[in-house]
Every structure is written in C-alpha cells, then in structure tokens.
Amino acid sequence: MKKYRNWGFFIFLLPVLLWLFLLIVLPHIDLLIMSFRFEDDYGELTWGMANYKEFFGEPIYWLTFVRTAIYSLVVTFLTFVIGLPVAFFITKVVSVKYKGALTLLVLLPFWVSELVRVYGWMILLRESGVVNHLLLKTGLLAKPVEMLYNDAAMIMGLVYTTMLFMIVPLISVLDSLEDELIEAAFDLGGNARSVLFRIIIPYATPGIVSGSIVVFMLTLGNYLTPNLIGGKNSLWFTEQIYNQFIASFNWNQGSAFGFLLLILSSLIIWLGLKVSKQNLAKVVQ
Amino acid sequence: MEYDLSVKNVTKKFGEFTAVDSVSFDIVNGHFFSILGPSGCGKTTLLRMIAGFEHPSDGTIEIRGQDMKGIVPNKRPVNMIFQHLALFPMMNVAENIAFGLRRRGTPKNEVMPQVLTMLKRVGLPGFEQKRIDQLSGGQKQRVAIARSLILGPAVLLLDEPLGALDLKLREHMKVELKKLQAEIGTTFMYITHDQSEALVMSDYVAVMNQGRFEQVDTPSNLYNQPKTPFVAQFVGENNAWSGVVEKREGNIVEITTSEDHQFRVEVSEDINPSSTVDLFLRPEALLIEPDPSLTDINRFDVVVNSILFDGASSRLLVNPLNSDKEIIVALPQNKQYDHIKPKDKLVVGWSEKAGICFAKR
Ligand SMILES: Nc1ncnc2c1ncn2[C@@H]1O[C@H](COP(=O)(O)OP(=O)(O)OP(=O)(O)O)[C@@H](O)[C@H]1O
Ligand SMILES: [Mg+2]
C-alpha cells in the first residue's frame, strides 16, 4: 500500500519535474555556459569572462542596465500607489453588489493582448492622435505635440500594462481585512493617516509584496511596451539583449546580459523581502 | 446624580426600516448598564450611534453633558469592545494596548509603564511580547479590554464580548468583568442577548425588543416585576396561559384559561371583568404536592411527561390532565421528590400572589 502511494506521488510529480528541467533548468545551463565562451583574436571559441568585461567596460550597457532597474522600481511604486486606493475602493467602499462588476472592469483590458493595448495608447498619444486632435479642436494647443517616445509616456504605458498584477493580490488581501479593525483604530483615536500606515498597509503587506514582485519582474523583462511607446529613446535593457541575439548574432554576449538581468531581479526581490520582513513561501501562496 | 451617558429619543432608520425607535435612558456614573434583547433588535446599532459610527436619524446623545452631534468617533470620550474584539493581528500585545496612547501623543517614556500596569490589572503580566494569534479566547478578551481602558473612557461600550467564548470561560469572565468594573469604576454599557450575563453583572438592565426599550430596571425587578409580557417571557423562564377574567374581588381576579383552568390571581394593574389577559408563572412558583392545609393556592392535576435533570436547575415537564400544554415545574434536588417518575400523576399548586397578569391590548 505504502509503495503504491509512493509510485502515485512520483507519477504526478514527474510532469512538473520534467517541465522544470527541460524548459527552465536546461536552457539556463546552456545560457550560462554560452555566456562564458567568447571568440578570441583568431576567431576560436574559448572560455573566459570577456562577455562580462564588455558589459562593465561599455557605459551604454551598464547605464541602460541601471536605468532599467530604477525605472522598474518607479513603475512598481506607481502601480502600488494607484492600485491600493482602487483595491480599497472595490473591497471596502462600494456595496458588495457592485464588487464583482468592478473587479471585472479592472480585468477587462487584459482580455486583449498587450500588443493591441499598447497600440491603443499609441493611437491616443501620437502626433496625429486623438488627444492632440481634441486639444487642437478646443484651442488649447496651437500645433500638435509628440506625446509618444518619452520616458513619461513609457512609464505610464508600463504602469498600465502591469496594473492588474498589483490590484488582484491587493483585492484578495484587503477582502480579508475586517471593517471592525479599521473602526477599532478610529475608535482608539486614530485618524485617516494612522489608519492607512498602521493598519491597512501593515495588514496588506503580503499582498503588496507579492504584487510588487510580479510587477517588478514583468516590467524588468518587458520588451514590447518600452520599445513601442518609448521608441528609440527607451534604452530598456531587454533591447540590448535582443540586439545581441538578433542584430549582432552574438549569442554569447546576449547570454551574459540575460544572466546579469536574472541576477539583478533576484537581488532586488531578495532585498525587498528582507526589508518588508516577508518570506517568499508566504508571499507566493 | 451625574450621568456619564444620556440618550434622548434616539431613532435610527435604515430606509423604511426603523432599527432603533425613540429610545431614551441615562447611565449614572460608575454603573454597569446592560442592554438585553434578542438578535436583530437593534442593540449594535444603538451602540454604534454612541460610538459615532452611525448617525441618529433623530434624538440626541450626550456624553458627560456634552452633545455628541457632529463629533467623529476618534474625538469621542468613549471606547468600544467589538463583537469580534478587532485586535490588530500585525501588532503584539503591547503594541495593541499602546495604540491609543500613541495616537494621543503620550510621551514615549510614559507609554510602556502604563501598558505594563494595565496588563497587570487585567491579569496578563508578562504577556507584552506575545503575538495575538498566540493568545487564548479569554486572553484576547482581556487584551481588548486593556486596550480600551488604558484611554480612560467616560463609558466603555461592550458589544457581546463574551459571545465567542465557551460556556465555562464565559461564566468565569462574567465574574471577572464585573470585578474589574467595580475595581476601576469606569461606566460600562454592555450589550448581550444572554439574560444570565445581563442579570449577573448589571446594576441596571434595559430590555430591548424590535428597536424599543420595554423596561429599564434592576435585575431583580426585571425578574420579579416584569412590566410587559415580552419582559416576562424573555427574562428567565415562565409558564404562560391566556384567559378571560370572570370577576374581580378587591385585588384578586378569577380567570378561566383557554384550557378551562380556574385560577385566582392577585393583580396590581386595574384589570376589569371580561377582559382577556396573559398570565405568567415562574417554574419555581409551582409547588409539587402542596400541603392540603395551605390556603390561597391554585391547585390542579398533572401527568409527568419527562424529567430534565440539570443539577440545581432541574425541571419537571408536566401536562395538565387531558391536555398537551407543557408546563415547566422546578424540581428541587432535596431528595424529597426522588420518587417522581414519568407518567406519574401529581397535584401542583401555586400561590395567588405568584402569578403575573397583563391585560391584552
Ligand atoms: N447598515 C444597515 N443597513 C440596513 N439595515 C441594517 C443595517 N445595520 C443593521 N441593520 C438592521 O437593523 C436591525 C438591527 O441590527 P443590529 O445589528 O443592531 O442588531 P443586534 O441587536 O445587534 O443583533 P445581534 O444580537 O444579532 O448582533 C437588523 O434587522 C439589521 O438587519
Ligand atoms: Mg449585534
């Protein structure tokens, strides 16, 4: 009987292990090996750190890298600042009747692909777009301005694309926050500010952290939105990786970049968990 | 007399529905005042209006002589113990208790000594570093009380705080809570649907029904001299008959019940012949096999249906002869009645002074 159960357990575990090994571990090992190989002066592939040296020696690479990291943090923070009031409104302010409908409304834009959504933004913001058209018609602008291809538009686009991944965990954590707790805080002399910072945010921390991790990773690894809305000036690190693989056919350099990005995201998430005193297992569940 | 809380004609409507209907009462400083009523009668709504979480549709609430209209909950000198206690799970015991002091801006070096004193007072010394989920039900209770009392409220509002505890602990906390209240002298306003909680702890009890107060009185008066049929039935157990008054001689009326019993009852209200009345009688007012020499006693024959043994509050369930009306009779455990078995025939009787009559309106 015991043996039987062990076999069953193994059979169900097998697909997961295969998936992990074939699709995640194996390619990464290959990438790791590639990142330490480079062509020497004679065109021979040899082992060495040249790909990593190249990254630190060329300011454009590591500046893009740092810029991407900082902007991803900014995007994560902005989604939190916008997402918290939205989630609070949906769970605590409106009556239960409308909660489902409102949650659906938040989900709705995500039924179309990211590409279509980003093109939607472009139709609104471009020089001949809807916003410019309206501003010209109302006389607020004398001649059309280009609203795309700058950092602000890119950040806005990134916030928009990842918003859902912040709001959903926040809704689920705030749902379990009893109204009594908020009332008790007011009853004991708290005001709106202390209720927010002493009760709501500490209570929602697991949701905030898990939302932030997902938003941060998605933003850091996003290619489409920075490229389309930010254009040539976006300077997003994923573009450098893309360029190495596709434009220069330098897979070894691309692998090194990919690994640096992986290390960066792991490091920042580890730091975030340390600072918020959460552990990964608790946040993910 | 000084009143810590004074409520005048307070009404609360939710749309068409009236949850609290023109309620008035005063609580004397330092009293333990309870509101007793069935589920959904508007107790919580009344308490939330005093705490400031709901606004009365009509009427005034004064705390220590000051009108509370337009004053937000965090500015009112009352604190509330919530039905589910509402302890903050992300803080430890000391942080929970210190929450109010910190919001008030008490100097940092004074907070901790006060918290420790309060913990001692509620019988939890050494618990300051515990997390909330490490506490038992009774300990959570005490933390919630400490968290409110440390602010020195004019009135402490308690919304069925013992509801979640098991029976044994509830009995214990009842006594504890009453002792604590007597010790610190804070005015308590306590809400419950459990009559024994209200009777044991309170100086005064208001019985509430469908948004209205039926009677505000001392526990013994509520039990011995109920003013309305609802109070008679809700506070303690009662046997009930309905009947018609045949005649009246002085204070004594003669009643024929719908089961054709003839009873003589002493009444205080003016009840006229031929009016219909409700008659109530406590189980302990019914005597088993009363001495034939006793006068002024209503006697009738019954058949024992079952014996409900419950220690000191054991009961007999009996049916009058040729009727299935159930009557509850107290069964003293003094060996005198040990011979009684189901299906036995008995005579029971009660004194003319023991019944309570209300004219039907
Ligand atoms: N916000 C509200 N909107 C509409 N009706 C309400 C609201 N709050 C309470 N009620 C109604 O008012 C009545 C009294 O409610 P309340 O919570 O005061 O009862 P309660 O006496 O505390 O009952 P319980 O012992 O079950 O806690 C109930 O019928 C309830 O449905
Ligand atoms: Mg209630």
Position A285 pLDDT exceeds 70: no
pLDDT of A1 > 60? The answer is: no
Tokens (6 digits) for A11: 């059979």
B51, B74, B84 member nearest A189 (Cβ): B74
Chain A CB contacts of B147 below 8 Å: 188
Same domain, B222 and B250: no
Q: What total number of domains does chain B contain?
A: 2
Q: Which of B249, B262, B269, B337 is nearest to B297 (CA)?
A: B262
Domain that holds residue B291: 239-359
Q: Which residues contact B127 (CB under 8 A, 6 or more apart)?
A: B93, B119, B135, B139, B143
CA of B193 to the centre of ligand 1 (A): 13
- pLDDT at residue A131 in the model: 87
**pLDDT-derived band of residue A78, with 50, 70 and 90 as boundaries?**
very high
B229 and B245, same structural domain?
no
Which ligand does the CA of A179 lie closest to? 1
Q: Which ligand is nearest to the CA of B43?
A: 1
pLDDT in tens, B267-311: 877 788 888 999 999 999 999 998 888 888 999 999 999 999 998
Residues B52 and B158 in one domain: yes
Mind listing the domains of chain A with CATH numbers?
A: 50-283 (1.10.3720.10)
Averaged over B166-183, what is the pLDDT? 90
Q: How confident is the model at residue A105 (pLDDT cuts 50, 70, 90)?
A: confident
In CATH, what number is assigned to the domain containing residue B300?
2.40.50.140
pLDDT at A4: 62
pLDDT for B140: 93
User: How many angstroms away from the CA of A186 is the closest CA of chain B?
Assistant: 5
B72 and B190 housed in the same domain: yes
Q: For residue range B50-81, what is the model confidence (pLDDT) as tens digits? A: 999 999 999 999 999 999 999 999 999 999 99
Hey, CA dihedral for B114, B118, B121, B125, is it positive or negative?
A: negative
Predicted confidence (pLDDT) per residue in B115-154, tens digit? 999 999 999 999 999 999 999 988 999 999 999 999 999 9
Q: What pLDDT does B328 receive? A: 94
What are residue A156's phi and psi, to 5 degrees? -60, -45
Determine the distance in angstroms separating the CA of A94 from the nearest CA of chain B, rounded to an integer. Answer: 17
Strands (E), chain B: 3-14, 17-28, 32-36, 58-63, 66-67, 78-81, 155-159, 187-192, 204-209, 212-217, 239-249, 252-257, 262-266, 276-281, 287-288, 297-308, 315-320, 327-330, 345-351, 356-359
How confident is the model over A207-229, as pLDDT tens digits?
999 999 999 999 999 999 999 98
Look at residue B97 and tell me whether its pLDDT is greater than 90. yes
CATH number reported for the structural domain that contains residue B79 in this entry: 3.40.50.300
- Statement: residue A13 has pLDDT above 80: yes
Contact between B99 and A188 using a beta-carbon 8 Å cutoff: yes
Q: Give pLDDT, residue A190.
A: 92
The predicted model gives B251-270 an average pLDDT of: 87
Same domain, B66 and B186: yes
Question: B69 and B87 share a domain?
Answer: yes
Other C-beta atoms closer than 10 Å to the C-beta of A49 total 13
- Chain A residues closer than 8 Å to B99 by CB: 185, 188, 190, 198
Q: Does B315 score more than 60 pLDDT?
A: yes
One domain for residues B162 and B75 = yes
Counting one residue from chain A and one from chain B, the pairs whose CB atoms sit within 8 A come to: 55
Is residue A284's pLDDT more than 70?
Answer: no
**Among the three residues B213, B234, B255, which one is the final residue of a domain in this structure?**
B234
pLDDT category at B102 given cuts 50, 70, 90 is very high
Domain boundary among B216, B234, B252: B234
Average confidence score pLDDT of chain A: 88
pLDDT band at A74 (very low <50, low <70, confident <90, very high): very high
Specify whether B202 is located in the same domain as B272.
no
Q: Mark which residues 281-340 of B lie under 8 Å from A by CB.
A: none
Task: Give per-residue pLDDT as tens, B322-331.
Answer: 888 899 999 9
> Over the Cα atoms of chain B, what is R_g?
25
Whole-angstrom distance, CA of residue B249 vs CA of residue B213: 33
Asked if residue B246 and residue B227 are part of one domain, the reply reads no
B260, B125: one domain: no
Six-digit token pair at B163?
């509801």
Is the CB of A191 less than 8 angstroms away from the CB of B74? Answer: yes
Whether residues B138 and B287 fall in one domain: no
Q: What is the mean pLDDT of chain B?
A: 92
Listed residues B196, B216, B234: the one ending a domain: B234
- Cα dihedral across residues A106, A108, A111, A113: positive or negative: negative
User: Residue A107 to residues A93, A166, A168, A207, B103: CA-CA distances in angstroms?
Assistant: 19, 12, 9, 18, 38
Strand partners, B315: B308, B330
Residues B58 and B170 in one domain: yes
B223 touches chain A (CB under 8 A): no
Q: What is the pLDDT of residue B7?
A: 95
What are A155-207's pLDDT values in tens digits? 999 999 999 999 999 999 999 999 999 999 999 999 999 999 999 999 999 99
